[in-house]
Every structure is written in C-alpha cells, then in structure tokens.
Chain A
C-alpha cells in the first residue's frame, strides 16, 4: 500500500456546553471573547481516524488545517502533540463572520494551495453551529466524492477506501475512490492522548503573528528549529476573492435571536378551565416548546 497524504480539517469552537448570558453580541453573532474554547469534539475523532491510517500505512503524512483567529493556533499545536506531521493556519481578520458557504470557499482555497492530497477528513459537525455543512461543501468545491458520518475505515488499497457510515437509522458500508472527503461521526474511536515527546518538541510552535510580541528567546529558538514556525495564510496567500469570504461572502445572516426560557422552579397551578389551558398552550408556542 502506498503512503497517503491526509488533510485533517479542525476547528476551535466556543464551548457551547458552558454558555453564559453574554455569549451573544446584540447583532446575533457569537461573542467569542466571553467563552472558553475547545478543540471541536468531532474533529478530534477525525484526527484519530487520520492518525490511525498513518499507523496502518507507514509513510503516510497527516497535515492539520484550521481556520480561525490567532488563538486557533492551539489547534495546530494540539495536532502536533498528538502526532500530525504538519500544521497550517488560515487566519486573517477579513475571513471573520463567515457562514458555511464562505468558510468552505476559504478552506478550499487553502486546500488548493496544499494541492497534493488523497484524503480529507473533518468532524461531522462543529458544536458552535451543528450545521454539518462545511465538509460536503468543500467536497463539492474540490469536485471530489464525500463520505459523511464515517465510523470506521474498514479497508483500503491503492485506489479506493472502504468505510462504515453511521446513519440515524442504521449503518452503511461504502467504497470511494481517492481523493475523497470524509466527515467523521462521534461514534468512531476517541482520539489518542498527547505524546509527551511531541509536547516537548512542539510546545514553542508559534505563528508569525503570535511571535509579533517579540520574545527574543523564542525568536532565537525559531531560527534554530524551523519546524516550530506554524505557516499562517492570509487572504492573499490563498488567493481568495474578497467577495467570497467573510460576511460579504455569506448568504445567511442572523436577523434576530431570542433566548429560550429555562425550566422555572416554581410551578404554575392551573385549573382545567378553557382560559387556563389556552393560556398555557399559547405560552408553550411562544416559547417554542411546541409549535
């Protein structure tokens, strides 16, 4: 079996499992500064799937690609700690506010710059939007097949890969030729832990923007060890059309948001009268509990 070139798409996401009241800005966009961030859970499964193939096929090269603000360089370092060969960061203020269409365009511009790949893997969906759209949209823009909800890689040969998909009502085994894009389901194996040796090797890995603060010790270290410089691609680096990125390239916009009323501690006591029951039904509809 020939070695494969795998790109892992990973995203740093606000931890939506711990959301405070100021998590959203008045314009309906996420107030990222107010939230702790995590490696998107499904993307960790995708990383494991890629590293597992690397274990099985010697010489396989895994590159982790992320798009986000500077802080997202954590994702690249985390990838190194767990065993990827390369990391690339797409970061530029002008990419901000992108919906899935603009995001997939941007990521695909990055993938085209990498150019040489057999397999692209990413998580099924990210917990900040739960859309599950960017994977299939990237596959379309690259004009390659997509295999969504992958649970396990069953087999591969030089020309094709066989995977089991987890569907909401069952499972399906499919084969796809290379190159293809897979989105990985949370029912696949958990990602391996960090490897101490890798943490030592990469803990000072930084993008050049992160280096701007001017730390002489780090600068010296980066000159000596070029593998610590995380490549950072801007709008110009990936030759992106300014009209297709960020807010301008995003067809979907948030018109308004409303908070969902959480369970009250006090019960409302009602009778079986028409007015009581109609009042309750109206409240339930208003609060989107039913409707």
Chain B
C-alpha cells in the first residue's frame, strides 16, 4: 500500500513550553490525519528542549523533528525558515499547519514562497473534502478545506489548493479543540543538528531586546466570552462557566455584581467600569442586564442569555433567551457541543 503523505505541524515554544496554539494545532492536525489515514508529524525548534517531546507525543504525533540550539531562541525568521524548509522538502507532507500568531504569520508565508505552494491565512475551520476541477475534468480527492472569515468578517470562504502542494494554513488561536490521544503515544524522535543546516547568512538579523508580557486575561481579544452575574450564586458555581468557556475556547467574565460578591476576579469584569468587549459570542449566565453591564458587551455579534427570570432586561438584546437554571443549561450546552462539534 502506498503510504499516505503526512500532516505536519510547526510547534512554537513559549516560556520553554509548547505554546497553547501549537497544542491546538496538533489536535486539529491529528483529526485531519485520522480522516486521511495519514501519519501526524511535527517540528519544534528552540533552546533547552530536553524532554519537550513529552508535551507533544500525547497528541498522537508519529514523528517529531527537534532542533535544539541556543541560536534558535528567541525565534528569528531566517534560521527557523531554513530548518523548516529542509525538513518539509525531505518529508514532503500533504498538509502543514502553523499558528496564526506573530511567529506563524511571519514564518509561514516565507516558507510558502520557498516551497512555491499555497497558504491560507487565519483559518478557523479545517476539514477534508473533494473538488472537481471543470477545466481539467478531474476530481481531486482528500483536499484540505481551509475555511476562514473573509472580507472584514462578513463571509466565510473555503480555500482549497489542488495542484501546488503542500497545502498550508495558519490557524487562529483558541478555535481548535485540544485533545490528548494517549499519554504514552509512541513518537519517533529525529534530532536535527542546526549547525549542519544553517550558515552565518541565516543569523544576520539580531534580536537586541525583548519584552514579552505575561499572557494574562485577554477578554478583549477573546472571540467567545462566558460571563456570569450575581445569579450564578457562588464562586464554586463559576466552574460551570469555566468549563463551558474552556471547551469553546473562550474566556470567563463577570458582571460588577459578581465581582463585588467575590465570585470572580475584578480583572475579568465586563461593563462600563470594567472591560468593553465585542466577541463573536457572548453567553450571559445569571446576569440581569443593568446598563452598566450591557454598555460593555452589547456589540457582541451573538448574545445568549440564560436566566431564571423570563423578564430579565438583558433578554431584550439577546439572540437566544433560555429561561431556566444555569446549573442545568450549562452542562447541557457542553454535552451537546461535544456531540455535535467536528
């Protein structure tokens, strides 16, 4: 049998660990690989990477390429591009995924140019499917569907590439579900000696200074927010919201009443005196909807209100009004999301 070409993931290192986005990509890559019956492969470049495979293998990675050298950290375009190019040229994968991060959006286009292949930016949905090319009268099977918001977010476009492979995509942070396959998954490790691949030419750009902010709460950037009000009832009950936010790839927020009651940290407060947010989806659980709160979230594209009170003011601006107990509704949302999401 002809061995299927692999699905490949470029892993980023953040604070000496595999970045969150890369873990998401490994899971997304694994799902594609399983649909294709193909192996999942990954590469990671950095410094002091001893034992890094233990953070990557569990996602079901069959082969991992590691280049461990002090010159590879912090990230610089040219050395990372040269290493990735050599590996991808030799391994000849069918799909390569990068994070749509400062690093991924810098590296992937340069690589796409080197490999003379297509690259779709900022995808939010990945799938496998077929395409019939009329001009050639030919059906191409098992292509990557790289689906992304386009045109200022007013449409979703499905981008394909049938003839200039590999098919590459950058993927937005926080949209792909993380899924551990097996803690003891057997991964073949291949160590790359950076010095054998790279030359002085690859190091002409020097990093003089670097200030990376601790990744803290980022309500503003989060596409999905699950927010709770006084109606949540207790600090412990906020775990219900956290569970839903985690699985949807969102953040947890709270109304002023919930913050004042000590249910949630003040840096997660949404509203006039907190953060103003414009997420794609805002889930308000046990929030009555005082103006002080709605002023900070009414521009959300989609609002779901969960409240015992059918006449809660927030219901007036909600797209979905669920009248009921959040202790019942939130677990059901998780359950049906798990059952229906790709």
Contact = CB atoms under 8 A, between A and B. Distances in A.
A187 interface: no
Nearest to B342: A291
Interface string B202-220: 0011111111110100000
B158 A101 contact: no
A252 B112 CA distance: 11
Tell me which of A16, A130, A251, A271 has the highest count of chain B C-beta atoms within 10 A of its own C-beta. A251
B158 A285 contact: no
Interface in B94-151: 101-102, 105-110, 112-114, 116-122, 124-125, 131, 145, 147, 149-151
B329 A100 contact: no
A133 B109 contact: yes
B106 A136 contact: yes
A174 B105 contact: no
Contact of A276 (B81, B204, B301, B322): B322
A290 B310 CA distance: 25
A134 B109 CA distance: 7
Given A129-B150, A146-B77, A101 B113 contact: yes
B340 A281 contact: yes
Interface stretch (B42-50, B160-168, B229-237, B288-296): B160-168
A170 B211 contact: yes
A99 B207 CA distance: 32
A251 B117 contact: yes
B211 A260 contact: no
B321 interface: yes
Contacts of A170: 210-213
A134 B106 CA distance: 11
A169 B109 CA distance: 20
B322 A251 contact: no
Contacts of B224: 290
A168 interface: yes
A255 B145 contact: yes
A257 B155 CA distance: 7
B37 interface: no
B118 A101 contact: yes
A253 B164 CA distance: 11
B240 interface: no
Given A101-B112, A268-B319, A145 B205 contact: yes
Contacts of A51: none
A259 B207 CA distance: 43
Nearest to B326: A272
Contact of A172 (B117, B209, B324): B209
A128 interface: yes
Given A136-B110, A146-B110, A254 B212 contact: no
A236 interface: no
A104 B118 CA distance: 12
A277 B337 CA distance: 10
A282 B159 CA distance: 23
Contacts of A289: 280-281, 301-302
Interface in A139-182: 139-141, 145-149, 162, 167-177, 180
A16 B152 CA distance: 5
Contact of A175 (B102, B106, B208): B208
A131 interface: yes
Contacts of B1: none
A200 interface: no
Contact of A267 (B102, B318, B332): B318
A133 B12 CA distance: 19
B319 A145 contact: no
B78 interface: yes
Contact of B207 (A129, A132, A172): A172
Contacts of A37: none
Nearest to A17: B152
Interface in A244-291: 250-260, 262-264, 267-272, 274, 276-278, 280-282, 284-285, 288-291
A251 B164 contact: yes
A141 B77 CA distance: 14
Contacts of A149: 102, 106
B124 A288 contact: yes
B281 A271 contact: no
29 contacts: A16-B154, A101-B112, A128-B151, A132-B105, A133-B105, A133-B108, A134-B109, A137-B113, A146-B77, A146-B106, A148-B105, A149-B106, A172-B210, A176-B204, A251-B117, A251-B163, A253-B160, A256-B157, A257-B158, A267-B305, A269-B323, A272-B324, A277-B322, A278-B336, A278-B339, A278-B340, A282-B336, A285-B341, A290-B337
Q: Which 9 interchain pairs have the tightest Cβ spacing?
A: A272-B324, A251-B118, A16-B152, A251-B164, A133-B109, A170-B212, A140-B113, A131-B121, A136-B109
Given A100-B112, A174-B206, A281-B336, 10 more contacts: A136-B109, A145-B204, A252-B120, A256-B157, A257-B150, A260-B153, A270-B321, A280-B322, A288-B149, A290-B224
